[in-house]
Chain A
């Protein structure tokens, strides 16, 4: 009767390989010496990395991605943390409805959100502008921050704040020296998660970009649609390395599985 368990483990290993294999083949494929993408790679060369640096659109798209991800994470954390603190701390009527409303962008497909924002932004002259793209990214990131900070505050002992106030701290000092340090892991993981969500985003960004402002995933997307070249493999490898580093930090702070478990 051991056979049952063996089949289970075999299929489980197979699906793990299935999940991870697209990431595992991309990095070796970027070192190909051929002029077409393939796996297994042909020979070994670094030419697709040097070519990457010679293509200004990729370099510019990379910095754009970093910039927007940073700004999106900053504003999402700012808006989301303050809002979540207010929700957790004060007795607001209809609290659960409020939380559902504020996290509702997660329940709408990104395609529909992209369409809605494009159609809405065009008369406001925000379509195709950096501001429009940033707003769209904050809309998809801020619900995660709200959820993480609310979870972080759910075990929060408010007598600590009272104690600090009794000892003479003003409300700002209380926030800065007591509340903030205690929810720092939640805020940090919200920031990293937002950074990654914005850095990776394709669907919403597709509706928000213009020809002179693109992000790295969109550059990969259009290169995959038009001309397949091993340069896509080297850009993708760069994205994978950056993401893996951030994911490992996130795992250290909070646990990736716990974050995703609480967000869906």
Chain B
């Protein structure tokens, strides 16, 4: 945040001229203006975001005994972590999110590297092409993949004609379909995040490496890659946490065959009307995602390349 220059200057200009009381009154008036401008927004966010989030946290600790009898307990959480169905769903969600991260990283890094190395004009065009799909509805993008992944569709024909597979693999309504849909949706975040860290690398470092006799591969492995780690880490964190909580893509590309946790939570809330349990599942999803992301970030920040994170 920029320091507020207006106030500083005014203080300097007005110090000898105005008595303390007038200044104090002015300050009080300023707080009033600030409060009036801020109040609607603050109340809105508190009332329609913070309170609802706390309300479902509270609900998650309520267990329904029968129809009407509600008691405080951690029963919802115990039920989650003892039921094999939900544990399998959690594991499936983590697994699919990890695959999505790997695909996005492998496909995204070369694009980010190209963006960092090309002329400003090309970079602007690439940024537009990479970022704009983010502003087009996910259902539309999923429908495009649905068309491509249909049995005997384009991808199947491509795979069989290239001789990669003989019998077409099941892509739609499978984990592979969900990974394709999710990585397609979140790849732009990975690319933009890595590109930002690549732009900050001092180009003279690579020149120095070349002068010292390093080939392009050596220079990439020991300079570019480590220095882009902060971007890689934040890209991984973004893509992973968004994949963990994605609902639309697993529902459309996986269907009932891939019951990821968001799909299960939706079912609990909308179809089974189990609000207290659904609230608990939401917080499990939030908690597990946060825990994995935190452990991963800490490990990277204390690892071999800890200097680049400072």
Q: Is B282 part of the contact surface with A, judged by Cβ < 8 Å?
A: yes
**A8 adjacent to B133 (CB under 8 Å):** no
Q: How far is the CB of A189 from chain B (nearest CB, A)?
A: 11
Q: A218 → chain B, closest Cβ, in Å?
A: 8
Residue numbers in A under 8 Å from B270 (CB-CB): 206-207
A 143-183 binary contact with B (CB < 8 Å = 1; else 0):
00010001000110011011000000000000000000000
Chain A residues near B244: list those with CB within 8 A: 109
Number of A-B contacts (CB under 8 A): 296
CB proximity of A198 to chain B, nearest CB, Å: 11
A-B contact pairs, 22 of them (CB 8 A): A4-B217, A18-B107, A21-B144, A38-B147, A86-B33, A90-B33, A108-B49, A109-B241, A110-B247, A111-B246, A113-B52, A115-B279, A120-B56, A155-B2, A162-B10, A200-B136, A202-B138, A206-B266, A207-B269, A217-B140, A247-B135, A261-B192
Using CB atoms and an 8 Å cutoff, list the residues of chain A in contact with chain B: 1, 4-5, 7-9, 11-12, 14-16, 18-26, 29, 37-40, 79-80, 82-83, 85-92, 95-96, 99, 101-102, 104-105, 108-113, 115-120, 135-136, 138-139, 142, 146, 150, 154-155, 158-159, 161-162, 193, 196-197, 199-203, 206-207, 217, 220-221, 224-225, 228, 232-233, 236, 239-240, 243-244, 246-247, 250-251, 255-257, 260-261, 264
Chain A residue with Cβ nearest B255: A225
B17 interfacial by beta-carbon distance below 8 Å: no
With A90-B34, A243-B137 already in contact, the answer to whether A109 and B245 are too (CB < 8 A) is: yes
Do A18 and B187 have beta carbons less than 8 Å apart? yes
B9: nearest chain-A partner, CB-CB = A159
Q: How large is the interface on B (under 10, 10 to 19, 20 to 34, 35 or more residues)?
A: 35 or more
Taken together as a complex, chains A and B put the C-alpha atoms of A108 and B254 apart, in Å, by: 23
- Closest A residue to B193 by beta carbon equals A264
> Which residue from A22, A102, A251 sits with its C-beta under 8 Å from B142?
A22
B102 to chain A, nearest CB (A): 13
**Contacts from B to A (Cβ < 8 Å):** 1-2, 4-7, 9-10, 30-31, 33-35, 37-38, 40-42, 44-45, 48-53, 55-56, 59, 107-108, 110-111, 113-114, 124, 126-148, 150, 153-154, 184, 187-189, 191-193, 196, 215-217, 220, 238, 241-242, 244-248, 251-252, 255, 262, 265-266, 269-270, 275, 278-279, 282, 285-286
The B interface is mostly helix, strand or loop, or mixed, namely: helix
